[in-house]
Structure 1
Amino acid sequence: MTGRPEVLFPLFGTLTALDGVGPKTAQTLANIGVEKPRDMLMTLPQSGVDRARRASVREVNAPAVVTVAVTIGAHYPPKTRGRPYRVHVTDAETTFQLVFFHARGDYLQKLLPTGQERLVSGKVEIFDGIAQIVHPDHVVPLDASDDIPAFEPVYPLTAGVTQKLMWRASRSALAMMPELAEWIDAPLMAREGWPDWDDALEQAHNPKKMQDLSSDHPARRRLAYDELLAHQITLALARAASRRAKGRVSEATGVLQDKVLQSLPYRPTAAQTRAVAEIAADLAAPHRMNRLLQGDVGSGKTLVALMALLCAVEAGGQGVMMAPTEILARQHLEGLRPLAESAGVVLEILTGRDKGNERAAKLAALAAGEIQILVGTHAVFQKDVVFHDLRLAVIDEQHRFGVAQRMELGAKGAATDVLVMTATPIPRSLALAQYGDMDVSVLDEKPPGRTPVQTALISTARMDDIVERLRKAVVEGRQAYWVCPLVEESEVVDMTAAEERFKRLRAALGEGVVGLVHGQMPPAEKDAAMARFVAGETKVLVATTVIEVGVNVPNASIMMIERAESFGLAQLHQLRGRVGRGAAASTCLLIYQPPLSESGKRRLEILRETEDGFRISEEDLAMRGAGDVIGTAQSGIPRFRIADLERQAGLMALAQTDARKLLQDDPQLDSPRGQAARKLLWLMEQDKAIRLISVG
């Protein structure tokens, strides 16, 4: 596929080709991401102003925008500096004033010649009992009334760019639109009642009433769908390319898995069994697996991961499980080793701490195939780590792990299958946007034996009561986490807050009862503090959010979250998931600082109402927007100009099905619809996808 189609050249030319845009304005527009005519087309009005003609300013209730024909009367220039310049005008029913500040008299004489008629439009206000329009938005001769649209679109602005300029520039961008063949499936267009691409843009830029600005308007839905479809075609192409990449066939026998299942005191949930079956089928297929295992806090992902790794071992290969931190790697080791031993499988750990002879011995055993499953941190990426026959890599907590690392890991084994695990329930629309190239398995049931967590809200004003309750619980032999607030983004300030709280609790509860972990500690100290808590030597662990991911202390049954209102919903849900892992009834106290904002209150109430991570994530998305839920910087979520992931989740799912079907029927995009879809990819700047087709 050669370069950009010629028919699209004008839309990708310079912005100065647009009416009214000079080099300086072009610079300014670049600040809001408008760099070429195509961006101007994709920048839709965000609201509108009713400028329908009225006979008199009396027809509206001030303050309001009004458009009326007037006869111009006397001019009253200011007597002293800094006073306004006033012009009296008369409409069909009444006289009122046009008011200007810092205006030149000669300019106003030209604009508003006494005795003549003009059409004026602006916001009318009552001041000292007199109606006036300060700085009218429009003043035009009556025969030029078409210059004032009856409903004027209002564009998102940046300093130095006026609505008038946006109006002119968007009109001239609309005039550049080429005729393009339709890339949306015809039956879908008919079912949804969507207009053609060019009609949709015309309608979106020329709203006739407020309702036309809604994201549910057919023109806007269609344009949102174009963006989502281009994005999903890109992901579907990536998925097709990775499926074409030759994989290894790893046929599980089930022998080792059965041994583990027999040693378990409970039966796996139906969701776990289903996920293991999906993974085993992928491993046995000739293409590379690229699957996401999504499960809420405590849904039993670890067991599924072990079963997957055992499939690789049963097929005669090795597996690796990667964790983002050393603490988590050690936890996986503790959780998995007894189970692996029950099946007679050799499981070892490799982290940055392994040095010298010990490290050399592990590497030799790995290369010889004596270690069947390796658990580790990113230390397993180092050049000297060589596997005998790596079949499967399980990656825990994707966000700390970009696509680049997925590829690096893939390079370690001839054709390693990849399973990514995430404990963050991501709303469906975001999961599709971020992991659309992967197949997804969801664990949506809780294994037996987990107790529900009682969640309560309590104000910081009652801190003494809270500490007293904690003292009693400790005397009864219970263990608790105390999570300190997130202060701005500074780990140093977080550390100070944590140290302060640690000192106060130590004074209240006694020496040796309270431990402390925060992000600024050396890893060895952090691990030692965790180990003391895991062993039950310390009863209360004061921590910054380092404990959010994966720490497992079944005896800990109390979670205190200080200044809970400063955390996001998903994060609070993750923290709460650290308790309720044992048989003891567990509580989570959300300690907040009054007064709570509306949204802060709503967030804490949702947590009190439900423990369902998926419901919580949907609420989180609705309240915060897509970028924040995952943290945009590392989320890999594309920025859409028109599509709204919160409100148009259904469109994203539709786009995914449509894109996958299109490529199934036409892998090279050669059909007429495929050719049209290629133009869509260029139009939506999905150059990555275009490269994938040309390679394919």
Structure 2
Amino acid sequence: MQAAMLAPTEILARQHLDALSPLAETAGLRLGFLSGRVKGRARADILAALERGEIDILIGTHALLTTDVQFHDLALVVVDEQHRFGVFQRLALAEKAGHAVDVLVMTATPIPRTLTLGLYGDMDVSRIVLKPPGRKPIDTRVISLDRLDAVVDGIGRAMRAGAQIYWVCPLVEESEKSDLAAAEDRHAHLQQIFGSKVGLVHGRMKAAEKDAVMADFKAGALAILVATTVIEVGVDVPNATIMVIEHAERFGLAQLHQLRGRVGRGAAASTCLLLRAADAGEVARTRLNIMRETEDGFVLAEEDLRLRGAGDVLGTRQSGLPDFRLADLEAHGDLMAMARDHARLVMTRDPELKGPRGAALRVLLYLFERDAAVKYLKSG
């Protein structure tokens, strides 16, 4: 049988390839790699080998989702940084098997819909609560954008002490409809102050250009890297100790947590500065305060669930208020577990809901306008 591992960026996918290669060689397993950069004859050879069953594990990016990628016998799908993919994208890879497959999704911050599926018993959850040895807590602070000059002065002092800094902006260039600071403008601003030690990376750059800038930052040739969320996952520079996130109130909790995770990867103390607009709303301020209080991705996800809602369990929305008539996921978690066990018992004894209890459940589903759920029972 075969396995597929899906990652949202080529940087991260190649990290997985490098990490798995020695293990696969020892185990006698054959690895393949596929991304948008693999083209022509090389791509055709990989696809042919995959379909013949000559590749045991295929690692790659969204390129794995295209229709011409066909497996010989796919049995396991692993999705890393699950929150970066949509429901249909995650389903598309599993459906390439043509039969039921095991699916493992990984993330530092589960989307609200995933937490809900865990409550329903449709997904088993494992938590890794310990950090790798030597990691120190990240000092997270919320600062008004009114104090931008003071932040830049502090960045200068840190640079002179040998620190490396990420500065993340939410847009590439100014928009007439938005007052968000653009990455290009912030790069120009910081370059005027600090000169050639400031680099820029964003999603519109060619892959080779991005790789060159990232290599310079990793090598220490650049002290400040101005970026969009393209650096959210897969970037590993242990010497980088400061993360500045501009207009942090515009990011979701999952993104903020992922971005913060780019620092604190070495033994040195690290800092994350969340720069917010002076007029940020109450919900935005609440999110930022939660970020300041915890580094636990599951705690953040649970707060995300409370603030954003759970989305559709029988649909594809990954957030939004659930349409329960009586239950509250936050307040009735213990009852949910009991209901899940009861539902599993019913489905084991009467999967078609044809017995007396099944008939009563069909009536309930009808009364709560969820009778369409009966059609979903066999779809998993």
Alignment TM class, shorter chain as reference: 0.7 to 0.9
Does structure 1 residue 561 correspond to structure 2 residue 237?
A: no
Please report how far the alpha carbon of residue 626 of structure 1 lies from its aligned counterpart in structure 2 after TM superposition. Answer: 0.6
- How far apart in 1 are the matches of 2:213 and 2:180? 15
- How far apart in 2 are the matches of 1:529 and 1:695? 45
Of 464, 468, 475 in structure 1, the residue corresponding to residue 160 of structure 2 is 475
Shift in alpha-carbon separation, 1:344–1:449, aligned structure 2, 3 A: farther
Q: Could you tell me whether the CA contact under 8 Å between 1:429 and 1:653 is conserved in 2?
A: no
- How far apart in 2 are the matches of 1:362 and 1:517? 30
Matches within 5 A, 1:312-461: 317-341=1-25, 343=27, 345-413=29-97, 415=99, 416-426=101-111, 430-432=115-117, 436-461=121-146
- How far apart in 1 are the matches of 2:179 and 2:11? 20
Runs of 5+ unmatched residues, structure 2: none
SS in 1 for 2:126: strand
- How far apart in 2 are the matches of 1:684 and 1:672? 19
Q: Which residue of 2 aligns with 1:640?
A: 323
Q: Could you tell me whether the CA contact under 8 Å between 1:320 and 1:393 is conserved in 2?
A: yes
Q: Could you tell me whether the CA contact under 8 Å between 2:113 and 2:319 is conserved in 1?
A: no
SS in 1 for 2:122: coil
Aligned length: 375
Matches within 5 A, 1:228-627: 317-341=1-25, 343=27, 345-413=29-97, 415=99, 416-426=101-111, 430-432=115-117, 436-485=121-170, 497-511=182-196, 513-594=197-278, 597-622=281-306, 624-626=307-309
- How far apart in 1 are the matches of 2:199 and 2:180? 14
- How far apart in 2 are the matches of 1:491 and 1:669? 56
Shift in alpha-carbon separation, 1:549–1:647, aligned structure 2, 3 A: farther
Please report how far the alpha carbon of residue 636 of structure 1 lies from its aligned counterpart in structure 2 after TM superposition. Answer: 6.8
What is the alpha-carbon root mean square deviation over aligned residues? Answer: 3.6
Matches within 5 A, 1:151-162: none
Please report how far the alpha carbon of residue 559 of structure 1 lies from its aligned counterpart in structure 2 after TM superposition. Answer: 0.6
Measured against aligned partners, the alpha-carbon deviations of 1:401-448 in whole angstroms (never above 9, x if no partner) come to: 444444443343354432222331456994337975333333333332
Shift in alpha-carbon separation, 1:669–1:322, aligned structure 2, 3 A: same
TM-score of the two chains, using structure 2 as the length reference: 0.82
Shift in alpha-carbon separation, 1:606–1:420, aligned structure 2, 3 A: closer
Aligned identity (percent) is: 58
Shift in alpha-carbon separation, 1:385–1:593, aligned structure 2, 3 A: closer
- How far apart in 2 are the matches of 1:399 and 1:567? 14
Structure with max Cα Rg = 1
Shift in alpha-carbon separation, 1:693–1:352, aligned structure 2, 3 A: closer
Measured against aligned partners, the alpha-carbon deviations of 1:103-158 in whole angstroms (never above 9, x if no partner) come to: xxxxxxxxxxxxxxxxxxxxxxxxxxxxxxxxxxxxxxxxxxxxxxxxxxxxxxxx
Amino acid at match of 1:575: L
Runs of 5+ unmatched residues, structure 1: 1-316
- How far apart in 1 are the matches of 2:142 and 2:321? 36
Amino acid at match of 1:660: R
Q: Which residue of 1 aligns with 2:354?
A: 670
TM-score of the two chains, using structure 1 as the length reference: 0.48
- How far apart in 2 are the matches of 1:338 and 1:478? 33
Q: Could you tell me whether the CA contact under 8 Å between 2:112 and 2:310 is conserved in 1?
A: no
- How far apart in 2 are the matches of 1:695 and 1:496? 45
- How far apart in 2 are the matches of 1:502 and 1:593? 19
- How far apart in 2 are the matches of 1:675 and 1:346? 51
- How far apart in 1 are the matches of 2:363 and 2:121? 21
- How far apart in 1 are the matches of 2:378 and 2:94? 23
Q: Which residue of 2 aligns with 1:248?
A: none
Q: Could you tell me whether the CA contact under 8 Å between 1:669 and 1:675 is conserved in 2?
A: yes
- How far apart in 2 are the matches of 1:587 and 1:692? 47
- How far apart in 2 are the matches of 1:637 and 1:504? 38
